[in-house]
Amino acid sequence: MSKTILITGSTDGIGKLTASKLASEGHTVYIHGRNATKVAETIAVIKAESNNEHIDGFLADFSSMEAVRAMASEVKEKLTTLDVLINNAGIFKSRQLFTADGLDMRMAVNYIAPYLLTTSLLPLLKKGDHTRIINLSSAAQSSVIDSVLAGTKEESQQETYAQSKLALLMWSFHLAIQEPALTVIPVNPGSLLNTNMVKEAYGHHWSPADKGASILYDLATNPSYASHSGDYFDNDKGSFGRAHTDAYSEEKRTHLITTTQQILKNIL
């Protein structure tokens, strides 16, 4: 059965590869990017490669929470239901350390933006058919510090990246409990995949990008994963596994969500 799928950060890397795989199976796929030209070019390429005309896209800079909110409104105006949301957009290196909202760039793009987008789209997701939300975490996971989350303390890019990815994972566990009718799966798609982000950050890679795209495709479509809401998939091991200890603390998860909501309240 054809699904309606939205993939953030899908004009290149594993997001684009995943979109192509899903489009080739006949699904209706919405891509997302921050550059209008790249979004349009990606839509055209995927349509041609998949022979699927049901491809469209949305434009938003995830460093701006106002832009994320505007995109969520556009999605709700355009779609009547959403079966799969893959929160793939992410950033490691950036010339600009902080956003116009005063947030750390990695924390904003990797965690707060997908949090805002997903919570805004919950009405559509609840109408979906066996809805799945796939959140891209990482093997890099570090305890979230309130001042880093709020953008009042500067840390290294590696450290804030790791904190942002644990924050996304902790929220995924929280969302899985909060919305038991939805399947929420956080995933490490694989360490040092051959993507532009990895090339910019490290200058080398360990595995092909398709390793990440393949697991995202499977998590989004394979019926066997429907019962794994709130479980962490580690694609370095090729199986579900144990995440950072903080992710299993209800107290820390609740504190994270409360703090996140306050940050968004102050911005929007």
Consecutive H or E run containing 59: strand 55-59
* 23-27, 127-131, 138-142, 207-211, range with the lowest pLDDT: 207-211
Summarised one tens digit per residue, pLDDT across range 170-216 is: 999 999 999 999 999 999 986 544 444 444 444 434 445 566 789 89
Is residue 4 scored above 90 in pLDDT? yes
d(CA 186, CA 25): 23
> Among residues 172, 143, 173, 174, which one has the least CA distance to residue 160?
143
Structural domains of the chain, ranges and CATH numbers in brackets:
4-267 (3.40.50.720)
Question: How do strand 232-234 and strand 55-59 relate by DSSP bridges?
Answer: unpaired
Region of 108 please: left (phi>0), alpha (psi -120 to 50) or beta. Answer: alpha
d(CA 223, CA 154): 42
**Residue with the two structure tokens 């909060």:** 178
Pick the catalytic residue from 111, 161, 217, 225: 161
249-256 average pLDDT score:
98
Summarised one tens digit per residue, pLDDT across range 55-92 is: 999 999 999 999 999 999 999 999 999 999 999 999 98
Sign of the torsion angle spanned by Cα atoms 128, 261, 177, 141: positive
Cα–Cα distances in Å, from 8 out to 22, 29, 71, 122?
A: 14, 11, 11, 16
* 32-46, 85-99, 181-195, 254-268, range with the lowest pLDDT: 181-195
156-161 average pLDDT score:
93
pLDDT the model gives residue 47: 98
pLDDT the model gives residue 201: 45
d(CA 152, CA 66): 20
Average pLDDT, the chain: 92
Q: Is 248 a residue of the active site?
A: no
pLDDT the model gives residue 208: 58
41 phi, psi to nearest 5 deg: -65, -40
